[in-house]
Structure 1
Amino acid sequence: MAEDIPSKRQSYGEDHKSQIESTGLQGDHIEVSQVGTAVSSVDEDNPLFIRDLAYSREEEARVIRILDMRLFPWILLTTFVLNMDRTNNSNAISDNLPADLGFSINVVNTATAIYSVLFSIACLSGAVIAKYAGPSRWIPILMFSWGLVTAAHALIQNKSGYLTVRSFIAITEGGVIPATLVYLGGFYKSTELATRLAWFWGVQNIASAVSGLMASGLLQLRGVGGLEGWKWLFIVDGIITVFVAVATWFYLPRNVARTKGGLRGFKPWFTDRQAKIAVTRVVRDDPAKRLYESTVTWTDVKDTITDPAMWGHWTITAIGLTPTTPLQTYLPTVIKSFNFNVFVANALTAPPYILTCITSVVNIWHSDRTRERGLHGAFGAGWQLVGWILLRSLPDNTSRGVKYFAACVVQSWPYTHPLCIAWMSENTGSVGKRTIASGAIIGFANIYGTWGSQIYQAKDSPNFRTGNIINIVFAGIATALWVVQKFYYKYRNARNARLLAGMSDSEQEKEIREAEQKGNRSPTFVFTT
């Protein structure tokens, strides 16, 4: 999965003339870009960043291969466990959790809304705390916490207990994804993140599929030990999560220089030269990562919330993911309404989740290959739109096989959330801003549950025709927003080009020197569209 050298780094604006000497290849090695006068080879703030370090494509490929073989699979394991624990609620609902506790699905909707608000708040704090505590520590702490809360679902006896436990699960789960995004950004270049984020969220869909298969078996334990089947599901998931959390504490390295010890092995993953390559290549791709472990400032917060581009990504997220709330919460229940029993219905959730993983990875992989984001996002949103229209248009007497096919079409859409995150991240321009924006976008990726949870109402079941019309509207708007965001970035690129064209050579050199400080507000910054 190695990327070609040199990589494009927008904040140095290589697309603009007279900004910076292009990074180029001499034989099998790269020639380091120079700005102004000569500078010291070793960076005082980050000794692993060597400004004039030369290395071959093969050397960089070996570094990436180590990351992909030693680090990334464990990250996939943590997100697998996360979504396994997030999906089990929908599996439990199909096993009559509401009836067992004495309430209707409207209480489930209320719990989902509360979960969404608290999860979103935890997302914002999670990214910031991760910068202070270190993501390699904060991630396993959160995992251990939500593992205990997951198992605590077995203690629920009534409505108040359900709402309380769902609130705590939101608080403990909320910070892990933004913390993981901060963590991965310290190891991978911007051009490498989108496809890996596709796998990150793709594995979540695999986890949902596995959760459905597990539920089809564990739910049959109803009555064993005097417990309902869904309580056994939560107990088993909680035990698995706590075990993985403890292992994660001893496995995740803080950075490339600290890979020896714990479950990582007695030898470091990288040689001294490879560690320097690992850091230098990331900083050359994004100079803001030179001080990647720096903390967030109020300037970063202000810069983030006043950037219209960030609000564009957050809006796409909140609007585009809204229809996924009723789908994720009630997919087993919807399939059960096609006259399948509860065990078969949960097992049948697996195929569409697996298809989602495949379509998402392929779509985002192609986006990376073509370096295009907006139209690929519109394609994914459009797929979902077609699926909702198909599901809504089926008459009541349609065979259960056709209904299941329509549900599969909706659920198997190319999930665009990782693409939106990668697109936003590569267009932020600074680590602090990226940290705030990452926490915010994960927050927006959950706050929509406050209204999305109200789309499917008990009076509209089992076909949810009114709810599916609402889903169609949201999916249609999302498709348009992806295109709008693309043209907004094209507009900003054109404006930056005009500004640079009107500057003298000395003014251009000054902008280049200040590019790292200004981030994406610098006229030298080239946005990915």
Structure 2
Amino acid sequence: MGDIPYITSYNSTDEEDIPLVVKKSHVSTSICSISSESSITLNLEENPFIDPEVAEYYRNVYDRSHYECRGEFDPDLKWTLEEEKNVVRKLDKKAALFACIMFVGLQIDRGNLGQAVSDNMLGDLNLTTDDYNTANTIFLIMFILAELPSQLVSKWIGPDRWIPIQMISWSLVASSQAFINSKTAFFVARALTALLSGGFIPTMVLWLSYFYKSKELPVRLSWFWTTLSIVQIFTSILAFGILRLRGVLGWEGWRWLFLLEGTFTFFIGIGSIFMMVPSAVQTKTWLTPNGWFTPRELGIVVNRVLRDDPSKGDMNNRQALSFSGVLKSLYDYDLWPIYFIGLIAYVPVSTMNSYLTITLKNLGWSTFNVNLLTIPHNIFHIITLLGITGLSERLNERSLVSLLVPLWLLPLLGFLCWWKGSMVNPWGTWALCNLILGAPYIHAICVSWVSRNSGSIRTRSVSSAIYNMSVQVGGIFAANIYRSDDAPIYKRGNRTLFWISFTLIPLLLGTKWYYSWRNKCREQIWNRMSPQERYAYMHGTTDEGNKRLDFRFAT
């Protein structure tokens, strides 16, 4: 049996299939060994390059693709668990923290409209809540249209160049909202802000994937979206003070809000020029002349990622995707179930979140108290986001864990729909809204789920943008559920949200069944094949990525 290939994993590229094969005769039977310092040393059992033939094959792939880190590729490199933990901690400080800081700028400029309308912005501009819905719809449509083109530009010139360009550009437009005086100007400003910021999130996810293993990414992404709630807490407190500037220089408070927060994002954009790096081997700047890593740490950073997913080296970080490759990724129907989940999963919370300040104003609270009353649900959101993401990774389960979302929302929305005391008990309504907005957030789970089930770097680059586009389409639905003729408590709208939440249950169960069924069918075919047939399949098949018989979907 020594010469029978043992399959550890598989990934595909735009140009060719890469069979990842390890001969069992080369695989160590021990899990680890103890060094002289009594530290645990990682051996090569999970190293796909332990077979010299496989290592040479990938070395040629990395050379042909001009992979930027190919000089650090070392199939024989060993390191301790403690060394790897130290490297990951450094990555968290350098990469993950930087990503969160830059996400602050995005969330400030796309999320401060809700605070602005609490300061009578609509009244000052002679706009209705339906105009507000239209502005949100325009923003989301433009954001969607920009997603995929932005991701393709990023793959072409590199995230480290594209993200600073985006941030500086949209911050200037966001600041200019301080000068709008008409409905048309309002709509145009929202459209331009969306066009310039669209694609930021999938581009940032792509950048983070350069540094982290697949199993590490979901938790880091949960930190990414935790930033959203932290920003909302911070900006709610900040808005409490900024909106009090109403009357200074004859300006309304919301004008100062747009100007000051847009300026803040501009400086983050300037900082991102120096905060982002092209890759692990390109971290030296005038701020960090010695780079992020020591030579040994650099070897660990590069090789740990390649051993987890060898396909991460089959393209240069400034290599554009081919048109045919993009089309193949768009037509990948096996990812559509997750896209549909993204389409409806966040509609109830998005709808209520965009209207929370208006609802609280309708219940009689002042502008300043309204912004403070939005803080509790953001704290709750952080707890449930980190909790459900961690639970999903520990259980290695996505569909069933995500069922916690509709099971959480349905009783709360049902009570809000049919409770007759909404207007006479504003604190009760506020509490229900906060519990709904604090529902477990599965965005980090779904983003990593799409990445895992893509099966190739080509598809992964496109699928993250498509998934985010589906989320934004859901946001368009969310922006138009509450209507002015349903004010002030939006009973009809809440009934719609109830049934949307209910629809998520069969969708999640159906997704679980679909991926399990696909895996079972492939397993049956694979088990009927002889070792020689499997070897021949791996070397001769034209199947790519997640269409290969030896690929298994995460459920």
Q: Same fold (TM over 0.5)?
A: yes
SS at match of 1:187: coil
Hey, what does 2:375 align to over in structure 1?
A: 350
**Please, which runs of 5 or more residues in structure 1 have no aligned partner?**
1-7
2:241 aligned with 1:217, yes or no?
yes
Deviation at 1:226, TM superposition (A): 1.0
Deviation at 1:167, TM superposition (A): 0.4
Q: Which has the larger radius of gyration?
A: 2
2:10 aligned with 1:11, yes or no?
yes
AA of the residue aligned to 2:510: V
Deviation at 1:136, TM superposition (A): 1.0
- Structure 2 CA distance for partners of 1:116 and 1:273, relative to 1, 3 Å: same
| Cα deviations by residue, 1:380-434 (Å, 9 ceiling, x for unpaired) | 2332333322322321354222111101111001111121111111111111101
AA of the residue aligned to 2:43: I
Hey, what does 1:431 align to over in structure 2?
A: 457
SS at match of 1:525: coil
Hey, what does 1:124 align to over in structure 2?
A: 148
- Structure 2 CA distance for partners of 1:145 and 1:12, relative to 1, 3 Å: closer
AA of the residue aligned to 1:146: W
2:91 aligned with 1:67, yes or no?
yes
For residues 470 and 337 of structure 1, the distance between their equivalents in structure 2, rounded to whole angstroms, comes to: 21
2:416 aligned with 1:391, yes or no?
yes
For residues 360 and 145 of structure 1, the distance between their equivalents in structure 2, rounded to whole angstroms, comes to: 30
For residues 36 and 499 of structure 1, the distance between their equivalents in structure 2, rounded to whole angstroms, comes to: 29
Q: 1:495 aligns with which of 521, 527, 530?
A: 521
For residues 341 and 35 of structure 1, the distance between their equivalents in structure 2, rounded to whole angstroms, comes to: 69
AA of the residue aligned to 2:255: K
- Structure 2 CA distance for partners of 1:455 and 1:514, relative to 1, 3 Å: farther
8 Å contact kept, 1:178–1:442: yes
SS at match of 2:76: coil
Q: 1:198 aligns with which of 219, 222, 226?
A: 222
For residues 323 and 533 of structure 2, the distance between their equivalents in structure 1, rounded to whole angstroms, comes to: 28
Deviation at 1:77, TM superposition (A): 0.6
Q: 1:291 aligns with which of 307, 311, 314?
A: 314
Hey, what does 1:150 align to over in structure 2?
A: 174
8 Å contact kept, 1:11–1:520: no
Deviation at 1:169, TM superposition (A): 0.8
SS at match of 1:427: helix
Larger displacement relative to structure 2 (174-183 or 443-452) = 443-452
Hey, what does 1:113 align to over in structure 2?
A: 137
- Structure 2 CA distance for partners of 1:53 and 1:12, relative to 1, 3 Å: farther
SS at match of 1:190: coil
SS at match of 1:296: coil
2:342 aligned with 1:317, yes or no?
yes
SS at match of 2:321: coil
AA of the residue aligned to 1:386: P
For residues 315 and 122 of structure 1, the distance between their equivalents in structure 2, rounded to whole angstroms, comes to: 20
For residues 516 and 482 of structure 1, the distance between their equivalents in structure 2, rounded to whole angstroms, comes to: 31
Deviation at 1:513, TM superposition (A): 4.7
Hey, what does 1:445 align to over in structure 2?
A: 471
For residues 9 and 472 of structure 1, the distance between their equivalents in structure 2, rounded to whole angstroms, comes to: 44
1:22-421 equivalences in 2 (<5 Å):
25-27=31-33, 28-31=41-44, 32-33=47-48, 34=50, 37=53, 39-40=55-56, 42=59, 43-44=62-63, 45=66, 46-263=70-287, 265-292=288-315, 293=317, 294-396=319-421, 397-421=423-447
For residues 466 and 83 of structure 2, the distance between their equivalents in structure 1, rounded to whole angstroms, comes to: 36
Q: 2:509 aligns with which of 483, 498, 501?
A: 483
Deviation at 1:159, TM superposition (A): 0.4
| Cα deviations by residue, 1:65-93 (Å, 9 ceiling, x for unpaired) | 11011221111011122112221101111
AA of the residue aligned to 1:436: V
SS at match of 1:51: coil
8 Å contact kept, 2:486–2:492: yes
Deviation at 1:322, TM superposition (A): 2.0
Deviation at 1:227, TM superposition (A): 0.8
SS at match of 1:279: helix
For residues 252 and 168 of structure 2, the distance between their equivalents in structure 1, rounded to whole angstroms, comes to: 24
8 Å contact kept, 2:385–2:441: yes
- Structure 2 CA distance for partners of 1:457 and 1:134, relative to 1, 3 Å: same
Larger displacement relative to structure 2 (312-321 or 388-397) = 388-397
Larger displacement relative to structure 2 (146-155 or 510-519) = 510-519
Larger displacement relative to structure 2 (24-33 or 471-480) = 24-33
For residues 462 and 9 of structure 1, the distance between their equivalents in structure 2, rounded to whole angstroms, comes to: 58
Hey, what does 2:16 align to over in structure 1?
A: none
- Structure 2 CA distance for partners of 1:12 and 1:238, relative to 1, 3 Å: closer
For residues 542 and 435 of structure 2, the distance between their equivalents in structure 1, rounded to whole angstroms, comes to: 44
AA of the residue aligned to 2:504: A
- Structure 2 CA distance for partners of 1:486 and 1:514, relative to 1, 3 Å: farther
Q: Which runs of 4+ in 1 moved over 6 A?
A: 514-517
Deviation at 1:20, TM superposition (A): 6.2
Hey, what does 1:509 align to over in structure 2?
A: 535
8 Å contact kept, 1:392–1:465: yes
Deviation at 1:512, TM superposition (A): 4.0
For residues 542 and 554 of structure 2, the distance between their equivalents in structure 1, rounded to whole angstroms, comes to: 17
User: How many residues end up aligned between the 2 structures?
Assistant: 517
AA of the residue aligned to 2:202: P
8 Å contact kept, 1:29–1:55: yes
8 Å contact kept, 1:394–1:403: no
Deviation at 1:38, TM superposition (A): 5.8
Larger displacement relative to structure 2 (475-484 or 86-95) = 475-484
For residues 356 and 267 of structure 1, the distance between their equivalents in structure 2, rounded to whole angstroms, comes to: 39
| Cα deviations by residue, 1:292-346 (Å, 9 ceiling, x for unpaired) | 4243223432332222221111111111122233222211111222221111011
8 Å contact kept, 1:87–1:328: no
TM-score (norm 1): 0.93
- Structure 2 CA distance for partners of 1:515 and 1:213, relative to 1, 3 Å: farther
8 Å contact kept, 1:63–1:278: yes
Identical aligned pairs, as a percentage? 30
For residues 180 and 540 of structure 2, the distance between their equivalents in structure 1, rounded to whole angstroms, comes to: 57
8 Å contact kept, 1:378–1:479: yes
For residues 206 and 112 of structure 2, the distance between their equivalents in structure 1, rounded to whole angstroms, comes to: 27
For residues 259 and 540 of structure 2, the distance between their equivalents in structure 1, rounded to whole angstroms, comes to: 54
TM-score (norm 2): 0.88
SS at match of 2:552: coil
